[in-house]
Amino acid sequence: MQVEFAKALIGASNELTFIATFKQQMKNTGSIFSLSEGNTPLLEIQSSGRKNEVRFTYTERGQVHTEVFPVAVTDEQWHRLALSLSGHTITLYIDCEEVARRVLEGPVEKSYGPDVNLWLGQRSAGESLFKGILQDVKIIAKEHAYLLQCPHANAGCPTCGQFNLMQDRMSALESLVENLTQKIMTLEDHIRDLQRCECNRTCRAEGSQKQHGDIWRPNDCETCACENGTVKCVSESCPPLESICTHECQNGGRCVGPNHCQCQIGWSGPTCAKDIDECEDAQIHRCHNNSVCKNTPGWYDCICRDGFRSRWHSNEYGVLCEDINECVNGLDTCDSSAECVNLEGGYMCQCMDDEDCSRDCVIGNMRHHNGARWRMPELCRTCVCTVSLIPL
């Protein structure tokens, strides 16, 4: 059970540290920790007294590799060993001092079959026997785990495993942001469509959606109509006569009774010939202070005031007239010696040094002195330069 737990812990962790405290006999070569299949080590830490080195053996893409560290610890003295595996990087600590750090050729394989066994103090039965005293051997799945053995050591920078984890989380975060951006764009499209539509104009009746102005007969003695989202029905004592209008209903109007036209939105009058000026009634139009209401046949538009512009190609409700920054967009007429200051709906030319500052108006390559007048035929008007500004 402990063997399977150890293999599962190693296989599931990107940060591993093997620690041990030992006193090894001189000239002895023995394994401190070993995961082996038969006599073949797949993941092993071995101390050699014959060559005064510590060996780390691992498997990468089916090939067994060994990293050799020239460290003498077989002196029959107590030593503390910690070997950290973080991503592709291994770091060896002896007696709380970092003695080596290396980048491996590839990722260490951590998936082991049922025939792989866990050994402490040897590789297998009778192989690579450790001679001396071995204690406190642990496998820890945690970054900077060598600090458990040496709590006063320096933790250093983030490990490779921590960096790889941050990269994975950043990739997941970027994907999340991209998905949220797509959803926000879709939501903005829905909001724009809702801003353009007339709310509460439809009715639900007889299992179907009725539009404003629709008329239907649920039976021979009742006539119903959809008016601004409300179903209104009129009872009749006898089948109604065919509606006749002497004058034709105009602009989409419908004859619904003797000389009575049901007009479309935006029209009124006996024959629906009179255009309703929505701009005269603030309860009808929705143009705000940054736009001007302009009546059109059957409806209206909101025209952004001078110094403002709409973010959308259609601005019939005038909800998105935003200030134009003439200074940033190069629309100002300030001289280069004056500073352009953007204002809500306009701008001003501010002189920081009155002696060297010009109040002239500059339009392209043309300069007009302060107070000058000139004709602009393309705009059918006379322009005046007033303190670097040209009033519209």
Token pair belonging to 325: 């920054």
Question: Which CATH number covers residue 213?
Answer: 2.10.70
Cβ-count burial 138-173 (b if 16+ within 10 Å, e if not): ebbeebbbbbebeeeeeeeeebbbbebbeeeeeeee
pLDDT, residue 240, reads: 54
Q: Are residue 267 and residue 371 in the same domain, yes or no?
A: no
Asked if 41 and 108 sit in the same domain, the reply is yes
pLDDT (0 to 100) of residue 4: 85
Residues 6 or more apart in contact with residue 229 via CB below 8 angstroms: 200, 201, 202, 203, 212
Q: Alpha carbon 192 to chain centroid distance?
A: 21
**pLDDT number for residue 157:** 54
Residues 6+ apart with CB under 8 A from 276: 266, 267, 268, 284
Q: Is residue 188 part of a domain?
A: no
Q: What is the pLDDT of residue 318?
A: 52
What's the whole-model pTM score?
0.41
Q: Are residues 234 and 336 in the same domain?
A: no
Domain match, 370 and 309 both: no
For residues 268 and 373, state if they share a domain: no
133, 21: one domain:
yes
Q: Which residues of the chain have pLDDT under 50?
A: none
Query: pLDDT digit string (tens) for 16-37?
Result: 899 999 999 999 999 999 999 9
Range(s) of the domain holding residue 131: 2-154
**Cβ(49)–Cβ(131) under 8 Å?**
no
Q: 391 in a domain, yes or no? A: no
Query: Tell me, what's the pLDDT at 258?
Result: 86
147 and 254 fall within a common domain? no
* In a domain? residue 177: no
Say whether both 147 and 20 belong to one domain.
yes
With CA atoms as reference, report the closest residue to 59 among 101, 100, 10, 94: 10
Q: Are residues 232 and 343 in the same domain?
A: no
The answer to whether position 45 is within a domain reads yes
Q: What is the CATH number of the domain that holds 75?
A: 2.60.120.200
Q: CATH number of the domain that 261 lies in?
A: 2.10.25
- Provide the token pair at 164: 């790889």
- Structure confidence at residue 69 (pLDDT): 96
CATH of the domain at 309: 2.10.25.10
Residues 144 and 45 in one domain: yes
Alpha-carbon distance of 288 to 171, in angstroms, equals 43
218 and 89 within one domain: no
Q: Residue 200 has what pLDDT?
A: 55
Among candidate residues 102, 136, 154, the one where a domain is terminated: 154
Domain membership of residue 191 (yes or no) is no
**Into how many domains does the chain fold?**
5
Domain shared by 296 and 224, yes or no: no
Rounded (5°) CA angle 332-334-335: 145
Condensed to tens digits (0 to 9), the pLDDT of residues 180-216 reads 988 998 888 888 777 665 555 788 888 888 888 888 8
Q: Which residue has the tokens 């107070």?
A: 371
